[in-house]
Amino acid sequence: MRALPGKRASVSAGSPQELGERYRLVEKIGSGGAASVFLAEDLLLARQVAVKRLHADGPDDAARRFRREARISAGLSHANLVAIFDAFSDGEDLVIVMEYVPGRDLSELLGHGAPEREKAFRILDGLAEAVDHLHAAGIVHRDIKPSNVLLGPDDETVKLTDLGIARVLEDTATTQADAVPGSLPYMSPDQLSGGTVEQPSDIYSFGLVALEVLSGEKARRGSPAEIGHRTLNEPPPDIRDVLPGAPPAAAELLLRTLSRDPQERPMSARAVVAGLREAFAEADVETREEVPVPVVAEAPDHADPTTRERIPFTPPGPRRGEGSPWRWAGAAALVLVLVAVGLVALLGDGSDGVDPAGTEPSSQARSGDSNDAGGGSGQTASSDSADPAADALESFYVAAAEDDFTAASELASPNLIGQLGGESGLESTFATLESISFDELRTLSDDGSTAEVAFSTTAVHTDRTESCTGTATMVESEGTWLVDSLAGVECS
């Protein structure tokens, strides 16, 4: 829990200075209709904590949600979730002791407009990690919004908080007070209509937050009645309406994320961020490639300097992924490279793989290197390949096509298994797949622990044959690459 600007106040003389004989209240840092939050000192561990106290005259529903928050949070541990340290009753008060996060929340940051692009994606990465962790644990947050995202000093830390209205999927009991939980501007249509609220509802809310973080503008404005009507009846908001330069691929992904049909939304928040990051990176590459870079050619000694000719020159395109653009060491280095290339051509080397910059691009690409899947898949990953993340993705699909779901599950992370509904969900997802061949496998980025792989496949099912494209997020685990999530998969 964090401090709220303008809401800090010394603890009044009439209020208890210590709770549970362990926590000394320092000052009030926030207050709502049902509870107040205090900065406190943990006397036993000598650390600052946030203490959330339910008002003694709070409604019964608030007390129930208070206990639910403590119960659900106690079983969670993740770097992007606010940690719960203690929960107890102190006289008539219910108390939750939680991690103190100094700084501000995301809504305060967005009050100054959209953050710089890399910071925006860093924030979305942290929030996506928290959302997917909850979903893997079978928990729906139901109130994902900027004010529930806490940012530490310099906005480096990202913590999702407030599980007061979260629901464990196995716990289907509801009350009238829980009929429409959440915050209206960030509710999904299924949540607002009082229907079943499951993980896709959180993905919808995450999509609205992502749109706001990237554009600096709220997706929907107006009175509660207007927002409710638009949510239930109008097409989903398009980021290009508030950010005209947004890449079409990013807009299309967000439109799917904000679909009124929960089944059309991506399976994970991390998949949404990966797809958005790729779309913006590709757009940046295309923009740089379209801008020619003029190079001034030096005039001969006898020429009038005022008549020097300007020769337009466009250098090779930038690397894909997270690498910086190609950099040129200077005219002398360029001449040496060109001379070397010319010598190779004169000597008849015959190689098609000459790289004029003398550098490998950061992304790795492979096209048409899979076996023909017409008579059964039969593909195996090359053990000496320089692209192990792509090989692992290929092996995952091949194992599924061969009905070897044990092998497929060993190549899937717990996050993906949870998103697919467990081992049985994995099997049912690929039940009709008979064989698959890869027309393209391309690693877009690889930092050693995570990688993004783009793919294009031809898949033969028992009832159809389709061509699919998309991206996969891969994670490294004990020397093996695992499929963690899939994003932007489109089939025709």
Q: Which long-range contacts (CB under 8 A, 24 or more apart) does 385-391 make?
A: 387/441, 387/443, 388/481, 389/443, 389/446, 389/451, 389/453, 389/474, 389/481, 390/364, 390/366, 390/441, 390/442, 390/443, 390/453, 390/455, 391/481
**Residue 143 known to be catalytic:** yes
Phi, psi of 426 (to 5 degrees): -60, -45
Quick one: which H or E segment has residue 183? none
Find the length of the chain.
Answer: 492
Distances (CA, A) of 241 to 106, 109, 217, 326, 389: 22, 21, 10, 33, 37
Q: Are 491 and 433 in contact (CB under 8 A)?
A: no
Catalytic choice (57, 93, 132, 143):
143
CA dist., res. 260 & res. 189, Å (int)? 6
| Tokens matching residue 478 | 């004990």
Provide DSSP, 207-221.
Answer: HHHHHHHHHSS-S--
CA dist., res. 441 & res. 36, Å (int)? 53
Q: Are 190 and 202 in contact (CB under 8 A)?
A: no
Distances (CA, A) of 86 to 49, 50, 351, 433: 10, 11, 67, 49
Read off the DSSP letter of residue 190. Answer: H
Q: Are 406 and 414 in contact (CB under 8 A)?
A: no
* Active site positions, annotated: 143
